[in-house]
Homo-oligomer: A and B are copies of this chain.
Amino acid sequence: MITVSEAKDLISENCVPERVENRLLSESQGYILAKPVYSPVDTPPFHQSAMDGYAFSYESWDGKSMLEVCGEIQAGSNVPIEVKSFEAARIFTGAALPDGADTVVMQEHVVKNKKTIRIENVQLTKGANVRLCGSQTKKGELALKKGQLLTAPAISFLAGIGIERVNLFSKPVISIIVTGKELKQPGSEITEGKVYESNSFGLSAGLHALDIAPASVEIVDDAEEDIIKAITRQSTSDILILTGGVSVGDYDLVLPALRKCGVENIFHKVKQKPGKPFYFGKLDQRLVFGLPGNPASVLTCFYEYIVPAISSFTKKQYFKKINMPLADDYKKKAGLTHFLKGKTNEGKVRILNNQASYLMNSFAIADCIIELEEEKEQFIKGEMVNVLMIV
């Protein structure tokens, strides 16, 4: 049996080279840039007024004379106006400065008299209230680096320099196969021996929180041929997640099915609780995760192992890992890393009750998973522990 960190390393080593896709900027929120973006234009694309006011030539003005209003330029208009000495053009925020003008006086600093204005702001300097052409970004200049997260402001910036499409690290295509003869859909009547199926709900929601929709979700019976058919149907996914049937019992048919499908076993069983029978394999370039059927094991393995594998595709960090002091003492046996459902509060993390892998009531209100080291048995209040935030 391997350790948690060995398992994490093996998954990381087996992650495939990322894929790059070209997407519309309007559909790129939350992605990471896979290639740098260079500006195709100067921005602003012309000398632009930053104010509603009057544009004139600073140096051909004597600092006191009235200026004659020679025309008007609205933002977006393209009226050929030339401003001569002792002239000014009425101009609005965002409009292009007319030929001959280099300075804008705000309308609040002007006294207007029919077709002339008197400037009342003695503090005015040359170039005031003008955004120079290219003063944000020059044509050909690096606009954003590879690796940049596309937040709303980053997208607004790229739209503003005329970018329509971007090269991004692709999200992986993920399929979910839930196995179990005992599973009934929530909302239906439950009959003797059956339980409600919850793992497809938990995993789909976990992916949704990463802004990924699973390519397919199948619930299949504990029958080897059914599992093989499902694996075959989903074998083009980048990541295949199976739940249930990964122990070595008579009805644990996932591992034999994976073997028959040609999946290479990278590891099976990890020194951890919950989720000891966790399996990881590879089918060509596809990653195959076999999770134990208990819902707490499923989601613990999802957050601890599958989310980092997804990050290897998207280059995005989804959840923060932090160090935090424990709110209470805790004892465990040596030999397994324990992943415990926790709740942070005022800089401390509390280990919730009900940690057994079939109990989900504590996980439901948890905001983090606490990792307690394999060989350590005693944990003292105030001691720093590793915490993976999940919200």
Contacts and interface: CB of A to CB of B under 8 A. Distances in A.
Interface of A: 25-26, 28-30, 41, 43-46, 48, 50, 52, 73-78, 92-96, 107, 131, 135-137, 143-144, 148-165, 180-183, 185-188, 190-206, 208-209, 211, 222, 247, 249-251, 293, 295-296, 298-299, 302, 341, 354, 356, 358-361, 363-367, 390-391
Contact of A136 (B93, B180, B360): B360
B192 A96 contact: yes
B202 A76 contact: no
Contacts of A52: 247, 249-250
Nearest to A197: B159
Nearest to A369: B153
Nearest to A37: B364
7 contacts: A25-B186, A30-B209, A50-B358, A77-B193, A154-B363, A160-B196, A163-B187
A86 B26 CA distance: 70
Contacts of A144: 364-365
A93 B249 contact: yes
Contacts of A187: 162-165
Contacts of A181: 74-77
Contacts of A354: 136
A375 to B, nearest CB: 22
Identify the 8 closest CB pairs spanning chains A and B, nearest first.
A76-B182, A164-B187, A156-B202, A76-B181, A159-B198, A157-B360, A152-B206, A153-B363
